[in-house]
């Protein structure tokens, strides 16, 4: 799919959804897309960033306007319902830093976008944190893949099962770390 004609649209859709409700990170498309076409690495990272921030704005809106009807269900689905009060306290004091850190990590960003809306974190503060962190994450990923190029492609082709397993372990580990941290 990474080399198909509509791959950028799929990446945009996954990036948008991941920032507000979808469980899979956009990296699952960004990585093979950059490896398949290194010349488009910056475009791919840009699409991923813009769509992710737009999805984050949607997540913020869910938290701000629809927390009781929609947002609470999303938060509870990810197992953070009981600990959400703690999130709110942290946001009152460290909002920008939390959004920035969450945007760089494989932790479920949608929890943080919804929390930003619920707690009433300043929208401009949220937007700046999202643009800088998500942009940094996706452009650094694209830059590394662009730089490593052919060797990383050959490695992944030979070790796709191991690389996939490692990615899943990191993804699940991110959920576990967040659950233990809160």
Question: What confidence tens digit (pLDDT) does each residue in 104-130 have?
Answer: 877 778 888 988 898 888 999 999 999
- Tell me if 56 is assigned to some domain: yes
Quick one: pLDDT at residue 131? Answer: 95
Residue 58: partners with Cβ closer than 8 Å, 6 or more residues away: 16, 19, 20, 113
Distance CA 26, CA 162 (A): 19
Distance CA 44, CA 34 (A): 7
Q: Rounded to 10 degrees, what is the CA torsion of 49, 144, 32, 179?
A: -60
- Tell me if 1 is assigned to some domain: no
Q: Other C-beta atoms within 10 Å of 161: how many?
A: 8
Residue 109's nearest CA partner among 149, 63, 43 is: 63
- Tell me if 36 is assigned to some domain: yes
Q: Which of the four pLDDT bands, split at 50, 70 and 90, describes residue 31? A: confident
Name the residue with tokens 């929208």: 123
Q: Quote the number of domains for the chain.
A: 1
User: What 8-state DSSP symbol labels residue 154?
Assistant: H
Q: Which of the four pLDDT bands, split at 50, 70 and 90, describes residue 32? A: confident
| Model confidence pLDDT, tens digit, residues 45-63 | 999 999 999 999 999 999 8
Distance CA 34, CA 46 (A): 12
Give the structural domain span for 75: 7-181
Prediction pTM value: 0.77
Residue 98's nearest CA partner among 84, 109, 85 is: 109
Residue 24's nearest CA partner among 97, 99, 106 is: 106
Name the residue with tokens 């990036």: 15
Q: How far is CA 140 from the centre of its chain?
A: 14
């Amino acid at each position: 799919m990474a080399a198909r004609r509509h791959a950028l649209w799929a990446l945009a859709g996954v990036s948008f959804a991941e920032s507000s409700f979808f469980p899979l990170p956009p990296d699952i498309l960004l990585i093979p897309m950059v490896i398949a076409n290194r010349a488009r690495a910056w475009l791919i990272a840009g699409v991923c960033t813009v769509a992710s921030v737009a999805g984050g704005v949607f997540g913020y809106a869910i938290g701000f306007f629809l927390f009781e009807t929609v947002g609470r269900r999303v938060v509870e689905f990810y197992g953070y319902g009981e600990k959400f009060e703690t999130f709110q306290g942290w946001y009152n004091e460290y909002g920008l830093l939390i959004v920035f850190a969450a945007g760089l990590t494989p932790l479920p960003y949608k929890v943080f976008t919804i929390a930003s809306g619920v707690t009433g974190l300043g929208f401009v503060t949220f937007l700046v944190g999202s643009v800088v962190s998500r942009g940094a994450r996706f452009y650094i990923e694209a830059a590394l893949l662009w730089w490593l190029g052919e060797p990383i492609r050959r490695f992944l082709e030979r070790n796709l099962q191991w690389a996939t397993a490692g990615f899943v372990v990191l993804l699940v580990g991110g959920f576990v770390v967040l659950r233990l941290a809160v």
